[in-house]
Chain A
């Protein structure tokens, strides 16, 4: 059957990786573990951003190249609200909500009028993201901001081998796992999730069963965009917020989704892990060629599995 061949191939691909990892681990255990942790936590952030992108594309086939703008808007709104109210939690909620509202507006006022026209959607959303970038520059300027998470998330936790590791990055990881689990539950255990899955399979039949697809689309867009905004606040607290972050996270989402394959939470998670790890290993071991690894992974995936590692169709 198919499975043993897959397994053979997986083993073939994994063996050199394991050998290299074992060497790296032996060479400098601490550096290796630190790079791994950095990679996994970066992957957590990528997962948060990309899962929204994958959800939106998976159901509606909408190519939303303004997804990075949703991330950045969420970050700015989160910063402002957090700054004004002094509550980081309120900032998180506001960032996610702000992006979700913008997402619904995009769906209702833009995507609704160009179903199935990927090229037009891509061009229009690129234009929108340029406009949004200028608007955000106008409101928040070119300064670099960073949100302050609550007291207890500061500082570092004691871990084996690396000894000290920033607590906030571990929280990031926990959040990503929670969001992944939440998404899985949403898709598999709720009524709207059932509608989203049925809509991915055959949306016309879903409409003919009495479901208002525009409503399902709007809800999905709100969730996907809300995730981007949420990621913006979370990422803006771990790293920083500045103009240009929008394209960076859009690119990251695209790569993650290309590598992992669309349509499954697991695919997005695996794609995010691969990209996050390769970036951080590259940074640790071959700073000059770091970026190259990401693109090698992408090219290899496109060559051997153009639908992505977990891509079904």
Chain B
């Protein structure tokens, strides 16, 4: 490695992909995230929790879209307080809740727009290979797509940033079961074939356990515990307790 590359000298392998320490997010006087701490070394970490527990607020804080206090370190470097575009250029990509594709841009324009700031392994053609469905719809506008297609587009848009950390907020929301299965397979293969760490917010426990290595539980803006995905999969009582009426049993 060349001496001019400090990241290599700092041995990134020892640094956690994402380390959140005592993070607070406030909306006016309401606190959505309170003293949340979280560690994602490598691989895939799922965050589960009921509605309104602050999962989206946490993601928005990591991407710089809402102000926060505390500490957010990306491979050891503090990113809290940076504007969203700087965070994105450092390798954090976001697949937000509700997809948020741009209604007046075509599929192709989405991909070309995203493919500028960090040119890496991914290209629009690579995305079309990953999601052949998108290629058929490349000239369609963002809102002419089905929910599943919008999700593919949001993921494609994020991958083109060549992220070292991918944030996904409830990617299965509103998708048909068959599409959810395909998505799980896609995410697993992405996690296996790239270096990318994934933070996955999910209310679908089965999907979370299926895709993630470990699972963090969020209650009232706080991360209360983290456990291996297999442990949660085996503990039915815990699942019930965590998700209450939203529980979706995880088959044996």
Contacts and interface: CB of A to CB of B under 8 A. Distances in A.
Interface in A152-208: 191, 194-195, 197-198, 200-202, 204-208
B105 A207 contact: no
B102 to A, nearest CB: 4
Contacts of B94: 205, 208
B96 interface: yes
A207 B96 contact: no
Contacts of A213: 85
B102 A198 contact: yes
Interface in B188-228: none
B114 interface: yes
Contacts of B103: 201
B113 A194 contact: yes
Interface in A204-220: 204-213
Contact of A209 (B83, B104, B113): B113
Given A208-B63, A209-B157, A210-B88, A198 B113 contact: yes
A201 B94 CA distance: 17
Interface residues on B, range: 20 to 34
B84 A204 contact: yes
B63 A194 contact: no
Contact of B112 (A194, A202, A206, A208): A194
Given A208-B63, A210-B116, A197 B104 contact: yes
Contacts of B104: 197-198, 200-201
A57 B89 CA distance: 28
Interface string B82-122: 01110111000110100010111100010011101110000
B102 A207 contact: no
Contacts of A205: 94, 96, 100, 102
Contacts of B109: 194
A197 B113 CA distance: 11
Contacts of B113: 191, 194-195, 198, 209, 211
18 contacts: A191-B112, A194-B105, A197-B104, A198-B105, A200-B104, A202-B102, A205-B100, A207-B85, A208-B64, A208-B87, A208-B88, A208-B94, A209-B85, A209-B113, A209-B117, A210-B88, A210-B161, A211-B113
Interface of B: 63-65, 83-85, 87-89, 93-94, 96, 100, 102-105, 109, 112-114, 116-118, 142, 157, 161
